[in-house]
Amino acid sequence: MVREDCIFCKIANGEIPAAALYEDDDFRVILDAGPASRGHALILPKQHYQDLCELDEAVGAKVLGLAARLGKAMKSGLGCAGFNLVQNNGEAAGQTVKHFHMHIIPRYEGGPEMVAWNPGVVSPEDREQIVEEVTAHM
Ligand code: 5GP
Ligand code: ZN
């Protein structure tokens, strides 16, 4: 399904022009309009899925392989030393566009810190509780 009111549906299906790095039957990969680093790209499925929880499994199974191809091409072509994959689900997680997308963010030697967090602490009791709470819903 493609949604008329979704900007990424329009971009993924060529209705709105974008700088594309790759395209096949399932995906279009574009440069992010507000890049975190030079070459920051987004993998967009051509069909509309709100987030990872809605993503079709067969389409989802192709995402990591495509991300690896892009990451390798970025290392060779752009000279980045590594890359981050970032995939936000829900507003609380920072998702601003409600159409599944995977960020591929090239990382350069000496570049700014990003995609980092301060390690917290977890008690043994809470760790056990967390395992119970999640596994009960698997
Ligand atoms: P999110 O925060 O939802 O994970 O990421 C949305 C990303 O989409 C942001 O990095 C933002 O810069 C990018 N973005 C939003 N609108 C457009 C657009 O119209 N064109 C392109 N190329 N990127 C967009
Ligand atoms: Zn969409």
Write out pLDDT tens, residues 116-132: 899 999 999 999 999 99
Q: How far is the CA of 35 from the centre of ligand 1 (A)?
A: 9
Tens of pLDDT, residues 54-85 = 999 999 999 999 999 999 999 999 999 999 99
Residue 103: count other Cβ atoms within 10 Å of its Cβ: 19
Q: Which ligand is nearest to the CA of 42?
A: 1
Q: Which amino acid is at 25?
A: D
CA–CA separation, 43 and 102 (whole Å): 5
pTM over 0.85: yes
